[in-house]
Amino acid sequence: MKLADEPIHLVETAFNGHYAGDLDVRVADEVYDPYLEGLIEQILVRLGEDPQREGLRRTPLRVAKALDFLTSGYTTSVADVVNNAIFAEPSEEMVIVKDIEFYSLCEHHMLPFFGKAHIGYLPKGKVIGLSKVARIVDVFARRLQVQERLTNQIADALMKTLEPQGVAVVLEASHFCMMMRGVQKQNSLTVTSAMRGLFRRDARTRSEFLELLKR
């Protein structure tokens, strides 16, 4: 396999809608993405392993499926996950969905970072189905990311989708690139926030949101 001669094929394979809906290996001769699996096999060899030994024989297939799932946000849009679940509602009181678990991959080392998202918004004539808030988080988390960008993308998507009076997003996450390598600080926590609309302009609104997160 002349992998060096096929750089364009790699891009096509990664972003052509391929998606690992079933992460399990079902049959002995299953092939999911032969090009990506070939690259992973080369990595194993480069690390000094034998891809043909029993414990690693299906690893390229499993890793290809896992990477496809963990980066599925590239082929998913906010409109896809919201799916018209926006409803007319005269309420203008704050809505908060907190402790939304998320998992992402750091774009610098491709190691996981994970944590919880806390999201609030002030409706202006319409509300969104609560599960859709979590799904919007996943659209952007399932990409190669940095936490700062992820926080802003979630806030901007909700502002565009709902056109509310304001949106607030706080993310708390642990990063394996700090825990497993580098400074190796296992208990470190990174907190980022993005405030839009009234949450940014009005200190009392922002304080109410942050206070409610403590409960």
* 118 given a catalytic annotation: no
- pLDDT given for residue 62 in this prediction: 95
Q: Are 60 and 49 in contact (CB under 8 A)?
A: no
- Reply yes or no on whether the pLDDT at 23 is more than 80: no
pLDDT band at 215 (very low <50, low <70, confident <90, very high): confident
DSSP result, 100-113: EEEEEEETTT--EE
Angle between helices 34-46 and 59-70 (to 10 degrees): 110
- Cα angle 36, 37, 42 (rounded to 5 degrees) comes to 95
Mean pLDDT score of the chain: 90
Closest CA to 137 of 166, 167, 165: 167
- Reply yes or no on whether the pLDDT at 198 is more than 90: yes
* 109 given a catalytic annotation: yes
**Secondary structure of 118-144 in HEC code, one letter for each residue:** EEEEECCCEEECHHHHHHHHHHHHCCE
More confident residue, 179 or 8: 179
- pLDDT given for residue 17 in this prediction: 52
Catalytic residue of the set 49, 172, 177, 208: 177
pLDDT band at 26 (very low <50, low <70, confident <90, very high): low
- Summarised one tens digit per residue, pLDDT across range 32-66 is 999 999 999 999 999 999 999 999 999 999 999 99
* 6 given a catalytic annotation: no
* 9 given a catalytic annotation: no
Catalytic residue of the set 108, 148, 163, 186: 108
* 177 given a catalytic annotation: yes
pLDDT band at 125 (very low <50, low <70, confident <90, very high): very high
- Summarised one tens digit per residue, pLDDT across range 135-184 is 999 999 999 999 999 999 999 999 999 999 999 999 999 999 989 888 88
Per-domain residue ranges of the chain = 3-70, 78-212
- What the block records as the tokens of 98 is 């907190």
* 147 given a catalytic annotation: yes
* 101 given a catalytic annotation: no
Catalytic residue of the set 37, 41, 145, 147: 147
Name the CATH topology of 3-70.
GTP Cyclohydrolase I; Chain A, domain 1 (1.10.286)
- The one-letter amino acid code at 25 reads V
**Which CATH architecture group holds 78-212?**
2-Layer Sandwich (3.30)
Catalytic residue of the set 106, 145, 153, 165: 106
Closest CA to 191 of 210, 208, 204, 215: 210
pLDDT band at 11 (very low <50, low <70, confident <90, very high): very low
pTM: predicted TM-score of the whole model, two decimal places: 0.87
Catalytic residue of the set 6, 89, 107, 163: 107
- What the block records as the tokens of 116 is 């919880």
